[in-house]
Amino acid sequence: MDRTLVVDDSPTMRRMVMASLRGVCVGGFAEAASGLEAVEQLALQPVSLIVLDLNMPDMHGLEVLAFVRRHPVLKALPIIVLTTRGDEASRLAALAAGASVYLTKPFTPESLAAQARELLQPA
């Protein structure tokens, strides 16, 4: 169950995230280009971490967060929100909705990997 779900409508951004996390997320990756696709992926196979954009077609990242936090099996999943939205209101909304970490784009591969490593460490 060490797979990481990378949710972003940009294929380039998904590739950048996966490249940044290759050494940390050894179980491989699942990808989703939209919020609805993310929910579908979560139904198909378990994941250990979600990296989630907020601005996506058909289902906003905050809606995905709300879905995950309401679901009994998924509610404890660590979620890194990785978004272009750098305003304080967006950050607070995501954290209130259940984001574990809030990072903004552009990001450094090292900062993303460090956050993922910390979230994936056994308690």
Query: Can you name the residues that pair with 101 across neighbouring β-strands?
Result: 80
pLDDT digit string (tens) for 28-72? 999 999 999 999 999 998 999 999 999 998 899 999 999 999 999
CATH number where 16 lies:
3.40.50.2300
Residue 113 lies in a domain: no
Distances (CA, A) of 78 to 11, 28, 114: 22, 16, 14
Mean pLDDT of 86-94: 96
pTM: 0.95
Residue 114 within any structural domain of the chain: no
Q: How many CB atoms lie within 10 A of CB 117?
A: 13
In a domain, 45, yes or no: yes
Q: How many domains does the chain have?
A: 1
Residues 6+ apart with CB under 8 A from 24: 113, 116, 117, 120
Percentage of the chain modeled with pLDDT above 70: 98
Residue given tokens 């289902």 in the structure block: 59
Question: What domain range includes position 29?
Answer: 4-107
Structural domain includes residue 103: yes
Position 122 in a domain = no
pLDDT at residue 123 above 80? no
Candidates 111, 44, 47, 52; CA nearest to 79 is 52
In a domain, 30, yes or no: yes
Greater pLDDT, 2 or 31:
31
